[in-house]
């Protein structure tokens, strides 16, 4: 009986061709907007050009690590190309890693280690210098520590050449480990909107795909769960108590039908996000999204019980979706504006589900699922009493 009602509700919601198209268009539109924002974000990065004449492990490591910073866009080339980009202001700053770069670092010779060119058309030199210097200093500090250990320990133990190399390597790696998970010298960038996003390992691409997905999932949940209001207006609710199975099966069956549609939409979002590399999939992420959808279904269903007019429901939907999305801090850093907004964000489901993504924790989705069960029970009991 429950499954029959659920299937009937799905057919009613997808009875027109536009309803089927409506399942795909939001995913494609969100993907397009996300890629547009990403291109705009890339264009705002500080252009940096690096010339690698050393072609050593150290020089390649510096370039690789600097490239991971979200504030800069790194390009490599010859000295002539680099100077041309600086002179034409196509790059804000340039660095030359000369031959012997790795050898000089290992010998703790830091005089004229790097050559730097500055463009006259930008004021972002200081930021990039700090980034580049921190990565060079990391290698230099590691080598200095390894040389100190070798000079102290090696002399007392009278090690042969092979043993000295092993000691030097172990000391270097031990020193390098002190830069993880956060470097000793670092600039903390807020890539996203919540505190958990200020991570050193964040990629430079700014994406609105995940925040947009959470908004659309909430919007469709409220739109599809308008059936209690429509059934009340059509007189269906008044006839339910006398039907086979009673009110509880009617309520649960319709809720299940909407939930199935929500999960189908979620699968489309996850599939497209994974295909476009907009969403990092893991067990915690998938469980978190399922818990989020379940919570939205139960919440919108409970809200629908208290609303008695279609226009009022549309206003409630617009208010809840916009207010929770703006206050959650998923689109902009609310904690940077005021303490009040930061506290308000913690009352929105988007804030907590984003936090669960970054923490890769299961307790938040489990709390969502637990609250959903309570909300389902409340809505079923209250609606049954008034049927």
Spell out the residues 6+ positions from residue 5 whose beta carbon is closer than 8 angstroms to its own. Answer: 249, 250, 253, 254, 256, 257
For the chain, give every domain's residue range.
Answer: 2-38+204-386, 46-134+183-190
The angle, 0 to 180 degrees and rounded to 10, between the axes of the packed helices 246-275 and 283-306 is 140
Q: Which two tokens stand for residue 84?
A: 């041309």
Q: Can you give the pLDDT at residue 10?
A: 79
Which CATH architecture best describes the domain 46-134+183-190? 3-Layer(aba) Sandwich (3.40)
Of the candidates 296, 305, 283, the one whose C-alpha atom is nearest the C-alpha of residue 369 is: 296
In this prediction, residue 189 carries a pLDDT of: 45
pLDDT of residue 289: 92
Position 294 scores a pLDDT of 93
Tens place of pLDDT per residue across the chain (387 aa): 678 878 888 788 777 777 677 677 777 777 777 666 666 555 567 888 899 999 999 999 999 988 888 778 888 889 888 888 888 878 888 899 999 999 888 888 877 788 888 877 666 677 788 888 888 888 888 888 888 888 887 666 677 778 888 888 888 888 888 777 665 555 554 433 344 443 433 443 446 778 888 888 898 889 888 888 887 777 666 666 545 556 778 778 888 888 898 898 899 888 888 887 777 888 888 999 999 999 999 998 888 888 888 889 889 889 988 888 888 776 666 555 567 777 777 888 888 888 888 888 888 889 999 999 998 888 877 765 555
Identify the CA nearest to 189 among candidates 72, 70, 92: 70
Rounded to two decimals, the pTM is 0.59
Cα–Cα dist 70/203, whole Å: 6
Do 300 and 225 touch, CB atoms closer than 8 A? yes
Cβ-proximal residues to 63 (8 Å cutoff; 6+ apart), any chain: 50, 52, 74, 76, 97
Strand order in the sheet with 46-52: 72-76, 46-52, 93-97, 115-118
């Amino acid at each position: 009986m429950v499954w029959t009602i659920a299937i009937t509700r799905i057919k009613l919601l997808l009875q027109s061709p536009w309803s089927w198209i409506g399942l795909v268009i939001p995913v494609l539109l969100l993907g397009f907007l996300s890629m547009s924002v990403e291109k705009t974000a890339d264009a705002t990065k500080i252009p940096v050009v690096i010339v690698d004449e050393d072609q050593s492990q150290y020089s390649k490591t510096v370039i690789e690590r600097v490239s991971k910073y979200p504030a800069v866009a790194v390009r490599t080339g010859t000295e002539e190309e680099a100077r041309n980009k600086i002179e034409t202001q196509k790059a804000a700053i340039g660095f030359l890693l000369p031959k012997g770069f790795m050898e000089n670092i290992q010998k703790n010779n830091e005089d004229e280690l790097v050559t730097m060119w500055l463009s006259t058309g930008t004021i972002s030199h200081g930021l990039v210098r700090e980034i580049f210097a921190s990565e060079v200093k990391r290698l230099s500090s590691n080598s200095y520590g390894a040389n100190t250990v070798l000079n102290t320990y090696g002399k007392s133990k009278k090690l042969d050449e092979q043993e000295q190399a092993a000691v030097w390597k172990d000391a270097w790696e031990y020193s390098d480990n002190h830069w993880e998970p956060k470097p000793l010298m670092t600039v903390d960038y807020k890539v996203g909107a919540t505190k958990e996003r200020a991570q050193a390992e964040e990629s430079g691409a700014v994406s609105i795909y995940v925040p947009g997905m959470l908004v659309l999932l909430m919007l469709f949940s409220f739109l599809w769960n308008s059936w209690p209001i429509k059934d009340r207006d059509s007189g269906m609710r008044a006839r339910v108590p006398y039907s086979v199975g009673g009110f509880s099966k009617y309520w649960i069956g319709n809720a299940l039908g909407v939930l199935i549609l929500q999960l189908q939409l979620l699968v489309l979002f996850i599939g497209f996000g994974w295909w476009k590399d907009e969403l990092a999939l893991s067990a915690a992420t998938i469980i978190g999204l399922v818990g989020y959808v379940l919570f939205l279904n139960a919440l919108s269903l409970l809200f629908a019980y208290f609303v008695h007019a279609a226009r009022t429901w549309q206003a409630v939907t617009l208010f809840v979706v916009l207010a929770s999305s703006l206050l959650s801090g998923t689109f902009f850093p609310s904690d940077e504006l005021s303490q009040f907004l930061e506290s308000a964000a913690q009352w929105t489901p988007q804030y907590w589900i984003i936090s669960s993504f970054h923490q890769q924790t299961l307790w938040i989705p489990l709390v969502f699922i637990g609250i959903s069960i309570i909300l389902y029970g409340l809505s079923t009991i209250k609606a049954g009493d008034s049927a």
